[in-house]
Amino acid sequence: RYGLAEKEDQIGVVTGLAWTSVGGDLLSIEALRLPGKGRMKTTGTLGDVMKESIDAANSFVRSIAPSIGVKPPKLEKWDIHVHVPEGATPKDGPSAGIAMVTSIVSVLTQIPVRKNIAMTGEVTLRGHVLPIGGLKEKLLAALRGGIKTVLIPEENEKDLTEIPDNVKQGLEIIPVAHVRDVLSRALVRTPEPVEWDEAAEEAAAAALKSESEKPGRVAH
C-alpha cells in the first residue's frame, strides 16, 4: 500500500512527493494531535532540513490559528506528533513544507484531507510556496500511485514543458503560490475563522482571575 494514494479521506494524513537518486516516490505524512503542552514531536528518520521545515510549517500555522478556527491558547493544550513512515528510510529536504502545513492544519481543525491529492513545495513563514526540484520524477510517482490531483509551486509551472504528455493528461496539476490555495484544495471543507482579539481576551482572563482569587466574598 505504501507508494499508493490513500483509500479514504483521513484527518492528518497527507501525501507528499519525494525525489531520490532512484526516482520519485509518494511520501505518506501523518500527524496526530494529543493532549499536551504545545510541543512538536517528529519521527521517521528525518534529516535536519526536514525537521526545520516542520518547525517552519508549525510556526506559520500558529501565526494564522484564528483564521482556521483555533484560538491561540488552545494550542498550548495540545502536542502534535508528525511521523513519516517508513522508519528505515532516511528522508530530508524542505519540499514537503506545504504537506506538513496541510497535515498540521488538518489535525488542529479535525478536517480530513482529500485522499486523491498529492503535493510538493517548500513553505515560508508567511505561507508562500517556493519551488522544488525533481518535478518530473515526482509527477511520475504520483501517476503510478493512483493520485488524481497534484499541487505544485507556481514557480515550477515553467518546468511543465519538460513533462511527458501522458503524465499531464493523467493528472490534474495545479500550480499554487500560497498555502491558502493549498488548503482550499486539499481539505474536504474550508476551516471557519474564529474571532480573536488578543488584548481583549487577556483583559477578560485577567478580570476573571482576579475575581476568583479575591478572598472574602462572604455573604453574611
15 touches 5 (CB < 8 A) = yes
CB of 28 to Ca ion, least distance (A): 9
Q: Does 60 bind a copy of itself (CB under 8 A)?
A: yes
145 touches 27 (CB < 8 A) = no
Work out what residue 211 binds among a copy of itself, Ca ion, none; the CB cut-off runs from 5 to 8 Å by kind: none
Residue 2 vs 90, nearer CB to Ca ion = 2
Cα–Cα distance for residue pair 89/86, rounded to 1 Å: 6
Work out what residue 3 binds among Ca ion, a copy of itself, none; the CB cut-off runs from 5 to 8 Å by kind: Ca ion
Q: Three cell numbers at 209?
A: 482571575
Cα–Cα distance for residue pair 31/49, rounded to 1 Å: 18
26 touches 147 (CB < 8 A) = yes
Q: Does 217 bind a copy of itself (CB under 8 A)?
A: yes
Q: Does 63 bind a copy of itself (CB under 8 A)?
A: yes
Q: According to CB under 8 A, which residues from 121 to 140 bind a copy of itself?
A: 122, 124-126, 128, 130-131
Q: Does 194 bind a copy of itself (CB under 8 A)?
A: no
Q: Does 8 bind a copy of itself (CB under 8 A)?
A: no
Cα–Cα distance for residue pair 44/137, rounded to 1 Å: 22
14 touches 113 (CB < 8 A) = yes
Q: Does 93 bind Ca ion (CB under 5 A)?
A: yes
Q: Does 146 bind Ca ion (CB under 5 A)?
A: no
Peptide bond into 86 cis (omega under 30): yes
Q: Does 45 bind a copy of itself (CB under 8 A)?
A: yes
* 3 state SS of 172: strand
Angle between helix 97-109 and 179-186 (nearest 10): 60
Q: Does 197 bind a copy of itself (CB under 8 A)?
A: no
The residues that touch a copy of itself, with contacts defined as CB under 8 A, are: 1-2, 10, 12-13, 28, 30-32, 34-35, 41, 43-45, 48-49, 52-53, 55-56, 59-60, 62-63, 72-73, 75-76, 81, 83, 85-88, 93-94, 97, 122, 124-126, 128, 130-131, 155, 198, 210, 212-220
